Homo-oligomer: A and B are copies of this chain.
Amino acid sequence: MTAFFDRHRPMLDAAVAAIETRGFWSPFPEVPSGKVYGETARDDGQAAYDALLNQPFALPGHPESQRLGAETSPFGPALGVTYPAASPAVLIAAAQAAAPALAAARVESRIGVCLEILARLNRNSFLLAHATQHTTGQAFAMAFQAGGPHAQDRGLEAVALAWQEMTRFPAAALWEKPQGKAAPLVLEKHWTLVPAGIALTIGCNTFPTWNSYPGLFASLATGNPVIVKPHPAAILPLALTVRIAREVLAEAGLPADAVLLAVDAPGAEVTKALATDPAVRLIDYTGSGAFGGWLRDHARQAHLFTEEAGVNSVVIAATPDLEGMCANLAFSLALYSGQMCTAPQNIYIPRDGIETDQGHLGFDAVAAALTAALDGLLADPARAAGVCGAIANPATLDRIAALRGTGRVLRDSAPLAEGRSATPLLLAVSADDPLAEAECFGPVALLVAVDSAEDGIARAAALARQKGAITAALYDTDEARITRAIAAFAGAGVNLSINLTGNIFVNQSAAFSDFHVTGANPAGNASLTDPAFIAPRFRRAMWRRQRAA
């Protein structure tokens, strides 16, 4: 049945067009407004969230041998939600049972299901915002965007590219080879799309939906049952996603078990058992490099798509707008307390200072301007809470506390009024400090004095090549040096933002336009969403038969 496909065909076509032109586009409004989502949407979302708390989460028909779940909001309360849990073997068996029908479904049917899931997720964006806020620590507005429409965009992007890839070659062809004066040889050929197998999507704590949707939807669209393994601290947003997916699958006459939830508890994790099951052929993983390395070493039977850790750098070489630069960087550092994979960490500044619209400024003066911008941004407690949100993982606070003892503190980190929180810590460190050569996840920025702008660019690019990086930023006025920096960062496989000063930030990555992560350095081997992210998820098997000419 392709009613869903027919209903959403215009959205699909527009998504394909957006991918091909890579301008701004989204069908999912990012503003958490009743004018857009309906007058009662905000209240309905709050009520729906409240109704989930302290209850068993209903996932009808889902394999269940026990109930697990112990999420606690970084803003305080325990969620009290429990989820159906089953052993890896039971989940694998359920996925295998769902596989044949999913594989046999028409491409239009699977694509239609994916589009309908996304449309329903979008209608639930307020609910997803609350679920995201209280599992990740993102402030509400960001949780709405990153957990809702922006994640839905990334899901749709993957569906649109999967649609393109599955239909770019004809399903059948006539092959007619001339034989001189004799009758030509004629074969009719038909191709069947063969899904890779069972897919496992391993979610992270900080962006449970945004980072999981691309793999989830890419695998489902191409016919692979998906087992969604949330981070134990951020289950709810993905449980809601799985529930909606199962409802839509069932309505389309497909097995609900084509999308499953794998919940576990700290100390009794199921991820390794799932990832190494011979039936699992696709793994999408967002998380630490350490566990990424474990998966590479052990889940050898699967095609592994990763987003891991890295060190994102800023090089400040010169600026004609000191205030704009500092305001822009301050927001990038403070947003979600630096817990974005795209947040800057190392800020390279020539030790002899830089040219600015306020004259030549020394290293300390630039550092002071950045500190002042951060202080200004966070002066109003309500605004500070709205920008910084809370800290997802308590270990991040410990790390910040330990860092205070190293380097020279330019700006101290401090809690906010609400939740487990921490504003950015700014440290000055020397260029050879080991601190500046590894990821310090969370609200910390290292201001690194370097010999020159060239030195900063070379160090930032080399670090990206060696340790990985998802973003880089450059502030400069020397066009020849900018050109050289473009080549250096491209060679290191990093996306570079140049001279951002307004309301657009190095952290931001827009679906349909930006490829998120290049796949060309250790920060991840997958790029959202390029053809290499889609193509290995299915294969083509032919049958051909002679036909009289």
Contact = CB atoms under 8 A, between A and B. Distances in A.
B22 A543 contact: no
Contacts of A487: 192
A372 B8 CA distance: 60
A453 to B, nearest CB: 16
A520 B539 contact: yes
Interface of A: 19-24, 103, 165, 168-170, 173-179, 185, 187, 189-192, 194, 196, 296, 300, 486-487, 489-504, 510, 513-515, 518-520, 527, 530-532, 535-536, 539-546
Given A173-B22, A175-B24, A498-B545, A530 B535 contact: yes
A454 to B, nearest CB: 17
Contacts of A20: 168-170
Contacts of A504: 177, 185, 187, 546
A22 B19 CA distance: 25
A531 B21 CA distance: 20
A169 B165 CA distance: 14
B503 A185 contact: yes
Contacts of A177: 24, 504, 510
B21 A170 contact: yes
B175 A541 contact: no
A175 B500 CA distance: 14
A19 B173 CA distance: 11
B493 A541 contact: yes
Nearest to A193: B490
A545 B194 contact: no
Contacts of A536: 532
30 contacts: A19-B169, A20-B168, A21-B170, A22-B189, A23-B174, A23-B176, A24-B176, A24-B178, A165-B531, A168-B531, A175-B510, A179-B503, A192-B490, A194-B490, A194-B520, A493-B539, A494-B541, A495-B544, A496-B542, A497-B544, A498-B545, A500-B546, A501-B546, A502-B546, A515-B540, A518-B539, A520-B541, A527-B539, A527-B540, A531-B531
Main secondary structure of the interface of A (DSSP, over half): mixed
A224 to B, nearest CB: 12
Could you say how many copies of this chain the assembly holds? 2
Contacts of A532: 532, 535-536
A105 to B, nearest CB: 14
Contact of A513 (B173, B192, B527): B173
Contacts of A535: 530-532, 535
Contacts of A545: 497-499
A376 to B, nearest CB: 21
A24 B498 CA distance: 49
A538 B503 CA distance: 32
B543 A490 contact: yes
A324 to B, nearest CB: 10
A188 to B, nearest CB: 10
A420 B518 CA distance: 52
B503 A543 contact: no
Contacts of A541: 489-490, 492-496, 518, 520
Contact of A544 (B21, B491, B496, B539): B496
A518 to B, nearest CB: 5
Contacts of A501: 546
Given A490-B541, A501-B546, A518-B539, 4 more contacts: A20-B168, A175-B510, A498-B543, A515-B542
A185 B502 contact: yes
A196 B519 CA distance: 9
Contacts of A543: 486, 489-490, 495-498
B493 A194 contact: yes
A501 B546 CA distance: 8
Given A24-B176, A527-B539, A498 B544 contact: yes
A175 B495 contact: no
A487 B205 CA distance: 41
A493 B193 CA distance: 9
Nearest to A164: B168
Contacts of A520: 194, 196, 539, 541
A385 to B, nearest CB: 24
A546 B499 contact: yes
A175 B23 contact: yes
A-B complex: 4 closest residue pairs judged by Cβ atoms: A532-B535, A520-B539, A192-B490, A490-B541
B519 A539 contact: yes
A483 B11 CA distance: 35
A161 to B, nearest CB: 10
